Structure 1
Amino acid sequence: MKKSIIISISGILLISCDQISKSIKDTLKSAPVDSTAYVEREEEAPKSPFDPAVERQIDQAQRLVNTIMEKNHPTHVQHPKEGKNTNFLTNEQKLNKAEEALKKLPQYMGKEIFVYSTISFYDDGRIHLMLQHPKNPEYVDNYDYKDGNWSEPTPEQLSVKDDIKTRLVSLNKIPFSNIARAATIYKEKSSKIEGAEPITNIYISVWKNTLRWYPSSISGSRERYSIELNENGTLKKFENK
């Protein structure tokens, strides 16, 4: 078992974030414990039956997954500016406009929209999200928002092991105006940390039908702080790590 975990961790840098999560779950499939624990460690999760050495390896794997998750959703990359879309993250008016345009897509008119897995917002005016198919609940489509317009849907390839229902949340629970609130908090906190760069990407992960905001940390030249937001984008916790 320990050897299998180490092999899984060694290969973790060669695959995407979603593949990383699936790899860890598949590697530990035979263990008598809920495999989702290796992707998201819940605060109230039951005690693991593994011995301490194995638990340490699992925790190390989880930390590595979280690190790569944030690297694949870069928060400090300066994207090319697109004029009118500058400072999109804190512009509530433009965020609301994007949300209204999404709700007016012909395929979703009069229907409740469900976001799947993640939704990413960029300060240059872009948004990327996945939505449950409007007619077939077993399907998921990708959508991109750029230059004030939503793209046509492109299919997302899912595994039979993906539990779609637990990765869904109603768009009503994610008003885009909350992004402006969260971005303001990130901006305020990072401005007080020496050497911290501006946050240019915020994304929300959906896990067990609840929302988690990223980035979950802000690094400066001398210090690193963990930051946690409530589901509505207000500050929950901010502390030196």
Structure 2
Amino acid sequence: MRLQQLTGIIIMMMCVSCNQFRQSIHDTLYGSDTDSSYKNLPKSQEEEVITTTSGSDTSVSAHISISTSTTTTTIEHSNGTTIVHNSHTTNDNFLSDAIALLNAENALRALPAFAGKSIYLYKAIHFYNDGRINVTIQHPDNPEYIDEYNYSNGKWEDPKPVQLSVHDDIKKALISLDNVNFVCASAVYSNYNRKAREVQGAAPLTHIYGIFESRKLIWHPQSINGSREKYFISFNPSGGVKDYYRQ
């Protein structure tokens, strides 16, 4: 079970930076000051507990339980907030599988072209529930070039050159991979579907994408369309609900 313990810590720490630990935990849990539908979530009866710290007087316990189909990571903060994250091990639900998303990011970082170099994503990244990821990345040797990278069947394909215009401002649409954690897409997926289940006629997500503007990540989609209602929804970088209201 040691591997699952380490995985739980990695998922927790990748989505939340130390200097924003308290607020990010709260945002991922509650979405906003009025979004409290994750309170008092039940815990698994079979779990292992890891305690770590971040900052002064701040403790976190990660409870990890394993079943044949789901890995559940429950993160408890000392202020009483709780996050429950389910990682399904089936291959047909990629967006909910935090482990698979983490593996995809690690595989990208391990590509020979990026050895010893920083990775900068360009414009957008797309995640699909069938296991695909599409992203454009600044060329590691020529900053004026952009390449398209596609991930499918558990591996990254060879990059493809992207044709640019002289009017494209590359620097404006770049963001470091260090600021885009793939596992946080699973939090977006979970939080979106949690809200969509409350809206009659709303369909679950099959595609999540992030837009990069001024070196910031903005998650999409930002609307939930039901048969009778439409809601606006937005997320913070770690995948917690930021704003949610009926339009």
TM bin (shorter chain): 0.5 to 0.7
What CA RMSD, in Å, does the superposition of the two structures yield over aligned residues?
1.1
User: For residues 232 and 96 of structure 1, what CA distance do their matches in structure 2 show?
Assistant: 14
The equivalent of 2:67 in structure 1 is none
Distance (whole Å) between structure 2 residues aligned to residue 157 and residue 95 of structure 1? 28
Which of 135, 138, 143 is equivalent to 2:141? 135
TM-score by length of 1: 0.65
Q: Which residue of 1 aligns with 2:166?
A: 160
Query: Hey, what does 2:108 align to over in structure 1?
Result: 102
Question: What's the CA shift for 1:85?
Answer: 2.6
- Give structure 2 stretches of 5+ with no counterpart: 1-88
Q: Partner of 1:85 in structure 2?
A: 91
- Percent of aligned pairs sharing the same letter: 44
Q: Which of 193, 199, 203 in structure 2 is aligned with 1:197?
A: 203
Q: Does 1:125 align with 2:131?
A: yes
SS of residue paired to 1:187: helix
1:115-171 deviation digits (Å, cap 9, x = unpaired): 000000001100000000000001000000000010101001111111100100000
- Once residues 158 and 131 of structure 2 are traced to their aligned partners in structure 1, the CA distance between those partners, rounded to angstroms, is 17
Letter in 1 for 2:150: D
* Alignment correspondent of 1:150: 156
Aligned twin of 2:212: 206
- Rounded to whole Å, the distance in 1 between the matches of 2:164 and 2:238 is 28
What SS does structure 1 have at the residue aligned with 2:142? Answer: coil
2:31 alignment partner in structure 1 = none
Distance in structure 2 (CA, Å) of the matches to 1:105 and 1:169: 18
* Counterpart AA for 1:109: A
Q: Distance in 2 between matches of 1:187 and 1:110?
A: 38
* Secondary structure at 1:89 match in 2: helix
Q: TM-score, normalised by structure 2?
A: 0.63
More helix by share: 1
Aligned length: 159
What 5-or-longer segments of structure 1 have no aligned partner? Answer: 1-82
1:120 aligned partner, one-letter code: H
* Structure 2 Cα separation of the partners of residues 174 and 122 of structure 1: 16
- Cα drift, residue 233 of structure 1: 1.4
